[in-house]
A and B are shown apart, each in its own frame.
Chain A
């Protein structure tokens, strides 16, 4: 089939004309067949759709319902309107903790996303070069992502928690004194963020490796002929060509970071003095330790909404990158 005939058929399809037809509208029999086909699709996809709605939509609707009530863990409670939201955001006893947690979530997410992306990208670029035993390196570099977070958290606790742990001992030997990696609020934040980068960079490395593999080497060769240096090739060719995957990885990692409960809870429990409490940890502790179901779910609900907004904004960047 020639190119022109394909283009012709596509044009006919766009105009609603059948491939071999005369352009007349479809008859009633054909309409019935199409309708029957439509129902078949619906029937076949219905179980999956129902499951998806139950899994995704039901919790959202039920959370919205709970966030507007003053219920307990086993009772629905009374309708209180937006009181839980107002108390959390503005006037209630949870408000300072909420904003502290929101700030830490922002820091944790920014460091988690961009820290892991930079390291992941650098490693992906390094692994592009042919080095002996590259496969072994790849597997070793994937370990932080593969190992269950519970194991990682205990390992990191062993590394930093007590003055006799390896890192505090190292700091001591370097003359930095007794460095309290988890007990000092600022250092605890840094430690938790570094831990997050450590367990996340392999994911970014995989994403970037996959994106880099799709970039044609001829483009680099052409750029080299035109006199482009390594830095120019990286900034003008590599980054733009992998931008779509980059944005997708940022979106996914943003979701991973904001929703990350075990990393923080297992390493610091949100302390000391709430310094490493993220919004998800705060929501959990509010519901299951303070037994304040309405405010806790309101925090989770607001977190979800912010996540959706951020995801949509980043997704628009993907579309923009696709157009460019």
Chain B
């Protein structure tokens, strides 16, 4: 019989070949480059940067990069924008084949992963040299410490991704509620907002949105807890963490959390803010800009909450720039980065949408000071914020890659925000998953 689809006879062998080829797609999806042949550094120093801001970010960043005039004998820099989509594969395959960049930004924990695999050039010499030109002292407090691993500095802080508490001025006024200052007043404000049909704990933990999990860890850190101890081992089932998660579960059970939020994307959450269904909640420092419109004036950053333990704290992500061993010239990489950090301020002063700056000098510019929310984040939230390594330490390390946007953290977050678990069980499951992932 003739196949009406192809109009020709299909032999079993050819069909099985076709089926096998199609069936190999999952293998292609999961197959990664692992060899280290070929490549090698070219004479140009490759700088790869991510789209950190709006559409104006990369063109301006490229302009800054290409304006670099290297000293005699040092390589010039070339610029490459790397999309967030599949960036892990992009970097991994490039590094494995020695065709990667000499200098790059990337995921917040990327430097620590590559450092553990021997691909990173430590920034100790660079930072020492910056002690002479003022750059070293210009970093905001605690940032450089977050980059230090036992063998040296794995990276240099680049932009800060903060998690802060936002509220809607108009909705709080409508509900007759006060801006919360501690956990009890947070519950009170949520209760008042609920009376006008508004959620007080706005969050999102769906496809591609890891904010929900970040905020859960923020509550833990706020209460003096966190996920890792001083030996960089998971220590999730602590009283501080249990209390923090019980508090979140209380918010869930009292209806202060949108029940659909476990599967909200960032866009869904922003649409809820826009629709005035979220009156308060935790998000990135760029929330007001992302929501846009009337929210620009209506959304305000609150001060950090004080926990029942009398502590303040939140999770933050010091995104960074790293240098690789595969470079045409280590001296060239360092010279380029010195130039870049001395000339990168327009990325913030020209409002390209990048996260908050790592340098005090940029936070003191009049352009930055014009945004009251950003100033509050830098003045009040940055000093009390901690990394994934809390409470055991400040420096990031390889183990944090087991919680940064991983299935284990997603499951934990969606379980808590779904309200179908208890704090101890959820934290125990998370602890076991982290331990297992760290072993493998």
Mark B residues whose CB is within 8 Å of A: 1-5, 10, 12, 15-16, 19-36, 86, 88-89, 92, 95-96, 113-114, 117, 119, 205-208, 258-265, 267-268, 271-272, 275, 277, 401-402, 405-408, 410-411, 414-415, 418, 432-433, 436-437, 440
CB <8 Å contact, A297 and B262: no
Q: How close is B251's CB to chain A, nearest CB, in angstroms?
A: 16
Q: Is A238 an interface residue (CB 8 A)?
A: no
Q: Is A284 an interface residue (CB 8 A)?
A: yes
A74-B117 in contact given A162-B271, A307-B19 (Cβ < 8 Å): yes
Q: How far is A265 from B30 in the complex, measured between Cα atoms in Å?
A: 15
CB <8 Å contact, B27 and A161: no
Q: How far is A317 from B15 in the complex, measured between Cα atoms in Å?
A: 13
CB <8 Å contact, A271 and B207: yes
CB <8 Å contact, B23 and A304: yes
Chain A residues closer than 8 Å to B16, beta-carbon distance: 308, 311-312, 315
Q: How close is A272's CB to chain B, nearest CB, in angstroms?
A: 4
CB <8 Å contact, A73 and B23: no
Chain A residues closer than 8 Å to B411, beta-carbon distance: 271, 273-274
CB <8 Å contact, B29 and A261: yes
CB <8 Å contact, B88 and A279: no
* Interface range on chain A (Cβ under 8 Å from partner): 35 or more
Stretch at the interface among A1-9, A115-123, A177-185, A223-231: A177-185
Q: How far is A207 from B436 in the complex, measured between Cα atoms in Å?
A: 47
CB <8 Å contact, A162 and B24: no
CB <8 Å contact, A271 and B263: yes
CB <8 Å contact, A164 and B275: yes
Q: How far is A167 from B325 in the complex, measured between Cα atoms in Å?
A: 53
Chain B residues closer than 8 Å to A284, beta-carbon distance: 29-30
Q: Is A293 an interface residue (CB 8 A)?
A: yes
Q: How far is A280 from B23 in the complex, measured between Cα atoms in Å?
A: 11
Q: Is A138 an interface residue (CB 8 A)?
A: no
Closest to A153 in B: B207
Chain B residues closer than 8 Å to A75, beta-carbon distance: 34, 36, 96, 117
Q: How far is A248 from B2 in the complex, measured between Cα atoms in Å?
A: 12
Q: How close is A24's CB to chain B, nearest CB, in angstroms?
A: 32
Q: Is A205 an interface residue (CB 8 A)?
A: no
CB <8 Å contact, B414 and A271: yes
A161-B440 in contact given A178-B259, A304-B24 (Cβ < 8 Å): no
Provide 17 A-B residue pairs closer than 8 Å at the C-beta atoms, listed in order of the A residue. A62-B31, A63-B30, A163-B277, A183-B260, A245-B3, A255-B22, A261-B29, A269-B206, A272-B414, A283-B26, A289-B406, A295-B440, A307-B23, A308-B23, A311-B15, A311-B20, A321-B1
Question: Which residues in window 249-308 of A have CB below 8 A to B?
Answer: 249, 251-252, 255, 258-259, 261, 265-274, 277, 279-280, 282-297, 299-301, 303-304, 307-308
Q: How far is A319 from B24 in the complex, measured between Cα atoms in Å?
A: 23
Q: How far is A229 from B326 in the complex, measured between Cα atoms in Å?
A: 76
Closest to B439 in A: A93
Q: How close is B394's CB to chain A, nearest CB, in angstroms?
A: 23
Partner pick for B22 among A182, A259, A261, A312, CB 8 A cutoff: A259
Main secondary structure of the interface of B (DSSP, over half): helix
CB <8 Å contact, A74 and B119: yes
Chain A residues closer than 8 Å to B437, beta-carbon distance: 93, 290, 292
CB <8 Å contact, A300 and B414: no
Q: How far is A226 from B227 in the complex, measured between Cα atoms in Å?
A: 77
Q: In the complex, given contacts A180-B263, A244-B3, A297-B31, what are 8 additional A-B residue pairs having Cβ atoms less than 8 angstroms apart? A: A62-B31, A62-B34, A63-B30, A255-B19, A259-B23, A285-B406, A300-B26, A308-B19
Q: How far is A271 from B264 in the complex, measured between Cα atoms in Å?
A: 10
Chain A residues closer than 8 Å to B28, beta-carbon distance: 59
Partner pick for A210 among B5, B12, B33, B113, CB 8 A cutoff: B5
Chain B residues closer than 8 Å to A300, beta-carbon distance: 26-27, 29-31
Chain A residues closer than 8 Å to B205, beta-carbon distance: 271
Partner pick for B29 among A211, A280, A294, CB 8 A cutoff: A280
CB <8 Å contact, B407 and A259: no
A258-B26 in contact given A244-B1, A272-B418 (Cβ < 8 Å): yes
Q: Is A102 an interface residue (CB 8 A)?
A: no
Q: Is A72 an interface residue (CB 8 A)?
A: yes
CB <8 Å contact, B88 and A251: no
Partner pick for B432 among A73, A93, A242, A297, CB 8 A cutoff: A93
A161-B268 in contact given A211-B4, A283-B29, A283-B30 (Cβ < 8 Å): yes
CB <8 Å contact, A319 and B12: yes
The 3 closest A-B pairs by CB, nearest first: A269-B207, A93-B436, A311-B19
Chain A residues closer than 8 Å to B19, beta-carbon distance: 251, 255, 307-308, 311-312, 315
Q: Is A40 an interface residue (CB 8 A)?
A: no
Identify the interface centre among B4, B88, B119, B267: most chain A CB within 10 Å of its CB: B4
Q: How close is A319's CB to chain B, nearest CB, in angstroms?
A: 7
Closest to B114 in A: A74
A66-B31 in contact given A178-B259, A319-B12 (Cβ < 8 Å): yes
CB <8 Å contact, A271 and B262: yes
Partner pick for A213 among B4, B208, B272, B418, CB 8 A cutoff: B4
